[in-house]
Amino acid sequence: MLGLFKKSSGNESSGPGPFGKFTLHELIATGGMAEIWLATDSKGKHFAVRRLLPELRSDSTARKRFINGCEVLEKCQGHDCVIGYLEHGKTDGAHYCVMEYVEGANLKVLYARHDPVLLDNVAQIIIDMAEALEHIHESGYIHLDFKPENVIVSRNAAVRLVDFDLSQQISDKPLKITKNPGTPTYMAPEQLSGQPIDQRVDVFAFGVTAYELLTNEKPFPGETSTDILRAQTDRADFKTPRQLNPDIPVGLEKAILKCIEREPDKRYGFLSVLVRDLKAALYV
């Protein structure tokens, strides 16, 4: 799971060695809430162990989010484009989650370095991302943090959606979220403005991500949440994907524009319809 977090300096953790029934070998990366270790079990099989950072073990909010992410991931198994889950629990005072190990990088890293894996497979990656989100919604959850950093792509272009810490169960009524711990660039207008939300915020985040991958620009740039919301609302300087990249198929542009409509009712209500339109536009 290389690239999921920023590279570690190597001194944030207790070091390699036994950890429950696993052996930690290499600290791959570390980030806001967790560290990722390359680990093996007693049979020598490789896994990725995600462990809550030591300094957050007494932080109840961080613990709840971490455990929530583990539980949601466990319930959302059964799709090739969602990271595989083995187990989660607590060992030596540390909350952890054991997942499949994928040698690759996240989309933000691939995008930044213009990696051939992304450039040569962008159409299939876009479809796979949509299918992963479709599975999460059909499993009864909103991801709530869909962005390039949370999409891992292997060396052979296999997609894995990760990080379910902020995910919420889909309910009959829109959710009212008091805090917005996600990334403003990928948040829908209703979320940025503190309005009730539903799974269509994931559709918006998908559209922003696809737009960015295909144009090398963000559709609604801004330094602050207020700036981004203003750009989403007035759209004075908004450029369509094909204005920035004429090679984008018309059908793909139409799908992306529908995803990033400011009004939720104008977006795709179901990811299955989006997946259908993407496949038709990309002749898959």
Burial (0-12, 13-18, 19+ Cβ within 10 Å), 16:
middle
> What contacts 61, CB < 8 A, 6 or more positions away?
none
> What pLDDT shows up at residue 1?
46
> What pLDDT shows up at residue 12?
42
Reply yes or no on whether 145 is catalytic.
yes
Question: Can you tell me which residue has the tokens 């959850």?
Answer: 141
> What pLDDT shows up at residue 30?
86
CB burial of 150-186 (b: ≥16 within 10 Å; e: otherwise) equals bbbbeeebbbbbbbbbbbbeeeeeebebeebebbbbb
Catalytically annotated residue among 59, 120, 128, 145:
145
> What pLDDT shows up at residue 3?
40
> What pLDDT shows up at residue 138?
98
Burial (0-12, 13-18, 19+ Cβ within 10 Å), 245:
middle
> What pLDDT shows up at residue 221?
96
> What pLDDT shows up at residue 8?
40
CB burial of 267-279 (b: ≥16 within 10 Å; e: otherwise) equals bbeebeebbebbe
Q: Mind listing the pLDDT tens digit of every residue in the chain (284 residues)?
A: 444 433 444 334 578 999 999 999 999 988 779 999 999 999 999 999 999 999 999 999 999 999 999 999 999 999 999 999 999 999 989 999 999 999 999 999 999 999 999 999 999 999 999 999 999 999 999 999 999 999 999 999 999 999 999 999 999 999 988 777 789 999 999 999 999 999 999 999 999 999 999 999 999 999 999 999 999 999 999 999 999 999 999 999 999 999 999 999 999 999 999 999 999 999 86
